[in-house]
Amino acid sequence: MTTNLIDIQHSDVVMCTNNMAENHPVGFQWVMKAKERGAKIIHVDPRFTRTSSVADMHVPLRSGTNIAFFGGLMNYAIRNNLYFKDYVVYYTNASFLIDPAFKTPADLGGLFEGLEQTGKGGTDPHVAQTYNKSSWKYQLDGEGNPKRDLTLKDPHSVFQLLKRHYSRYTPEMVERICGIPKAKFMEVAQLYCSTSGREKTGTITYALNLTQHTNGVQNIRSLCMLQLLLGNIGRPGGGVVALRGHANVQGATDLELLYHELPGYMAMPLRDAHPDLKTYLEKETPKGGFWINKPKFFVSLLKAFYGDAATKENEFGYQWLPKRASADAYSHQHMFVDMYKGKIKGFLADGQNPAVGGPNAKLARAAMQKLDWMVVKDIFVSETADVWRTPGTNPKDVKTEMFFLPAAPAAEKDGSLTNTMRLIQWHEKAVNPPGDVTSDAEFFVTLAKRLQKMYAGSKKDRDKGFLAANFQYGDNPKEPNMELVLKEINGYATEEMKDKDGKLVYKKDQALNTFAHMTDDGKTAGGCWIYTGVTVEGPDGKLINKANSRKPADEKDYLGHGWGFSWPANRRIIYNRASADLKGKPWSEKKKLIWWDPEAPGQTPDKKGKWVGLDVPDFNAFLAPDAKNGDKPFIMRADLVGAFFGPLNDGPFPEHYEPIESPTRNLLSKQQNNPVAKIWSVPDHKNDLAPLGSKDYPYVITTYRLTEHHLSGVMSRYLPMLAEMFESHFAEISLELAKELGVANGDKVTVSSPRGKIVAKAMVTHRLKPFQIDGKTVHQIGVPWHWGWKGVDALPGSKGDITNDLSATVADPTVYIQETKAFMCNVKKGEV
Amino acid sequence: MSLSRRDFFKYAGSAGAGVAVGAAPFDLKPVAAAATTLKIKEAKVHSGVCPYCAVGCIQLIYSKGDKIIDIEGHPDTPHTLGRLCPKGAATIQLSNNPLRPTKAMYRAPGSDKWEEKPLEWMYDEIAKRYYDTREQHFIEKEKDKDGKEVTVNRLEAIASLGSACIDNEECYLLTKLNRTLGIVYHEHQARI
């Protein structure tokens, strides 16, 4: 999230694209607060929910058509000159000129320049295509800087390309694709574009509604681009509100429990691209922007992993890190396909229930049944732990050896969680866990130390890094001291550090105050540079844990900087330089956040001038607006500006394609699906897909969540207080479809896809309406996905079929996210 | 006397637990106040973070000995103002729950039951599985796209999944463990 939940109250228009009222109820109070202050609320969602019930406008759109909608809004803003011109010209790459060889889907029938066949083809064209991005680049001047046209008139300027690209996204086209009547679309376009300019701001919220598609990343980009066009990023009441679904999705992502990165958003090395540290740093360090500091962060990470064994002579242990064989490998979906094919032998499922929670859950269960061994650590014995006795399976046939370790919930351990607005908050151990229940930390360090004992004395190079890694934190032989782990994440000096005048800056082992002090020569270690500052050493030498600071917000500090620690550098709204104009003055008094005070004491006694205001400035606080790059807000980008033109694996602009399974041909171009989406072929018909126009699977299905249940249900189906709230698994079906099917409210229905089927109760409702797509009626149903075969015995409604048995193993080409928000199904009355 | 929320509603005579507070025919306020006072009197209070969605509501967790007796929202929290949703308000049942396993368990290949095992035995056996699988399947070197042999130090035979419900420090320890062992199937439910 670029902004902060508290700041939503300052929005003039809030556009929720997800069901925030039900899935993030406590955060939604800030949307309600904005409404009290006069804001208008728009809810864009196929279903009418409690979010719609308090919105000024509910705009149902067919699942899987978000880019058509956002593209339509961008077209409306450009055509009607409603974009925020100064912001667009100076704070984005709209004025940059692109290689004349670059062509957009407007020229190439739905494709970008550079689509190439790769590999041998195979049965599916999708797996064998990729984009050659050689024309997706800026024109450079003699000094290597991008050429610009500040009038935005050059036909090769990003702005003109953007304008041309989205000129096809007319209100009529939006109506045909999304099923939003033109009049309604014009109303929403007018309302949301009213947030353009100096005096107003708007915010857009999203969750997995936008991400779980085969163009998931482009969905997010399209809403970010709309926000840039209207000048809404980095300003109070603006921003992008990304709502994470689990308590530490943000933290687990920052600390990189992810296949493709290392902590702090640095690439996991690839065999072919990154053979040694020097090449890695050369390729991965951009020439401009804050990431020029990457070598300092990366070497500090290697020092945190390998300690004293990481030296300049051995590339700080770089060769010990595993090198990925390919960028197209090891993600969540790759994992279960490869497990099914027998490539994976052992598996740890830690606090995750893939037997229920992931796409194509039937495939996941079959895959786990093929393992040699498996460890599950969870609070309850989930379907994943019991996968060997999945209903319909004979345990005798499952040779997987199973280990179950009971886990402690947050209340029974010390540690920090990072919430959806990058806020790191500490929780204290309130009680000891019962019986043999332990924290996950205790399990990880115990396993590590036992393995180190088994490897002790190994002379093999490949074991040296693991043997060098420290897993003892504090004196307790079992439980690690979690504040010391946090300190390692924060970073510390590995030796005494002095400034150029010989003055002591850090003692050996002292926690670093800022990532600005990290070095690339091994003098500092740090497990995740963006967290630096979360611990500092007080004057008495004691560690201060800022994640545990609890100073309430007040009138002077509405963002609450004394409550927890928000990465990076306790900044609450990132890119906040954009809240001021080129000269450093707030765009408007009403929307001020930080500004340049020319009279404030400067960096040295002889200088004056500093950025001051209501938040921590998002760059050097002493960099004057008229200094070099003092007017560039987007510091994490090499060119320091917001990107309309931003090359991903599937294009530099978001383009509408139909979901892999869809009820209609693509009405925008002849290219039906994302041409580089990932579609796995899995043996034994484990990933069959419904073809376009399939009579067997005529209805769109979307999956979603409920207030009283949580994700795959492990943290709700066993709790009577929550499990009692639903009498049954259910499928939401419109009155119109129910009539066609002869189904009454409460009847049992069978929902099927080419992958599987489930039985649930029909909830016949006005909350869903059929769409008119290009003159044809398209029905869409909604099914929550919290159920599995386990729960509270006395509450039969706590148990039910697994919705994810219906979804497919297909993915976005940039991050390999699944498409569970839009695919095709059939619905039949009764159990069939 | 420790009263759970459900006991309290039974005690107060309301049939519609969970939804009917406003409609209950009794004036529950004095009972609620008395129950609350009784519950947290002499209890220790700890700062907690709600483990459900990612809003990060700070909780006040009251305990007596090794039992959590009450969990409520922390009213000073700037971004929540002390509120909790139905899931946050049910957090106490994650700890106090008869369905919760408190013993480590093992299920042999082909067996139809779980067996309770001592933790130490489990840790030893799990470490052996990691060791044996790593020894058998480790890829130290392989050819790159140009056919040149390079060091890759990779272990593809063990996969690790999870979790967005463990702490930052735990995520870091798991990343450190997996990556230093060479594990590359290293994921969590960010995409789920």
Chain B residues lying within 8 Å of A488, measured CB to CB: 172
Contact call for A420 and B54, based on CB within 8 A: yes
Task: Tell me the pLDDT tens digit for each residue of A721-752.
Answer: 999 999 999 999 999 999 999 999 999 999 99
b/e map A126-163, b = 16+ CB within 10 Å: bbebbbebebbbbbeeeeeebebbeebebebbbbbbbb
Chain A residues lying within 8 Å of B86, measured CB to CB: 707-708, 721-722, 725
Q: What percentage of chain A exceeds 90 in pLDDT?
A: 98
Q: Does A343 touch chain B (CB under 8 A)?
A: yes
Q: Does B138 touch chain A (CB under 8 A)?
A: yes
Size (chain A), residues: 832
Per-residue confidence (pLDDT) for residue B24, from 0 to 100: 43
Distances (CA, A) of A322 to A261, A461, B179: 12, 13, 7
pLDDT at A502 over 70: yes
Structural element, H or E, at residue B72: strand B67-73
List Cβ neighbours of A291 (8 Å cut-off, separation of 6 or more).
Answer: A285, A636, A638
Query: Which residue of chain B has the CA closest to A269?
Result: B152
pLDDT at A125 over 70: no
Per-residue confidence (pLDDT) for residue A275, from 0 to 100: 96
Task: Tell me the pLDDT tens digit for each residue of B119-153.
Answer: 999 999 999 999 999 999 999 999 999 999 999 99
List Cβ neighbours of B123 (8 Å cut-off, separation of 6 or more).
Answer: A443, A446, A447, A450
List Cβ neighbours of A408 (8 Å cut-off, separation of 6 or more).
Answer: A379, A433, A437, A438, A439, A440
Per-residue confidence (pLDDT) for residue A734, from 0 to 100: 98
What is the interface pTM, i.e. ipTM, of the complex?
0.97
| Burial (Cβ within 10 Å: 0-12, 13-18, ≥19) of residue A63 | buried
pLDDT at B7 over 80: no
Per-residue pLDDT, averaged over A653-657, amounts to: 98
Query: What is chain B's mean pLDDT, rounded?
Result: 87
40-59 of A, contacting B, C-beta below 8 A: none
Closest to B179 (Cβ–Cβ): which among A321, A563, A708? A321
Per-residue confidence (pLDDT) for residue B15, from 0 to 100: 36
Contact call for B170 and A262, based on CB within 8 A: no
The pLDDT-based confidence of A341 (bands split at 50, 70, 90) is: very high
Chain A residues lying within 8 Å of B137, measured CB to CB: 345
Rounded to whole angstroms, how far apart are CA atoms A326 and A611? 44
pLDDT at A113 over 60: yes
Query: Which residue of chain B has the CA closest to A402?
Result: B107
Per-residue confidence (pLDDT) for residue B192, from 0 to 100: 79
Q: Does A314 touch chain B (CB under 8 A)?
A: no
Domains of chain A: 9-242 (3.40.228.10), 249-325+481-548 (no CATH), 331-412+664-832 (2.40.40.20), 587-632 (no CATH)
Residue pointed to by tokens 């050689």 = A134
Task: Tell me the pLDDT tens digit for each residue of B108-124.
Answer: 999 999 999 999 999 99
pLDDT at A127 over 70: no
A40-44 and A57-59 beta bridge pairing: parallel
Query: Which residue of chain A has the CA closest to B177?
Result: A448
Task: Tell me the pLDDT tens digit for each residue of A9-27.
Answer: 999 999 999 999 999 999 9
pLDDT at A611 over 90: yes
- Grouping H, G, I as helix, E, B as strand and the rest as coil, residue A596 is strand
55-94 of B, contacting A, C-beta below 8 A: 55-59, 61-63, 65-68, 71, 76-81, 83-91, 93-94
Q: Which has more confidence, A443 or A122?
A: A443
List Cβ neighbours of A388 (8 Å cut-off, separation of 6 or more).
Answer: A369, A395, A398, A400, A402, B107
List Cβ neighbours of A712 (8 Å cut-off, separation of 6 or more).
Answer: A352, A353, A355, A356, A357, A382, A383, A785, A786, A788, B192
The pLDDT-based confidence of B99 (bands split at 50, 70, 90) is: very high
pTM above 0.90, yes or no: yes
The pLDDT-based confidence of B41 (bands split at 50, 70, 90) is: confident
Per-residue confidence (pLDDT) for residue A119, from 0 to 100: 61
Task: Tell me the pLDDT tens digit for each residue of A442-483.
Answer: 999 999 999 999 999 999 999 999 999 999 999 999 999 999
Task: Tell me the pLDDT tens digit for each residue of A613-628.
Answer: 999 999 899 999 999 9
Rounded to whole angstroms, how far apart are CA atoms B125 and B134? 14
- Grouping H, G, I as helix, E, B as strand and the rest as coil, residue A353 is coil
CA distance, residue A21 to nearest chain B CA (Å): 10
Contact call for B126 and A428, based on CB within 8 A: no
Per-residue confidence (pLDDT) for residue B4, from 0 to 100: 45
Of the candidates B98, B185, B46, B107, which has an alpha carbon nearest to the alpha carbon of residue A367?
B185
In sequence order, what DSSP letters do the residues of A52-102 get, joined into one string? HHT-SEEE---TT-HHHHHHHHHHHHHHTT-S-HHHHHHHBGGGBBB-TT-
Helical H runs in A734-814?
735-741
The pLDDT-based confidence of B37 (bands split at 50, 70, 90) is: low
Residues B110/A396, Cβ–Cβ less than 8 Å: yes
Query: What is chain A's mean pLDDT, rounded?
Result: 97
pLDDT at A578 over 70: yes
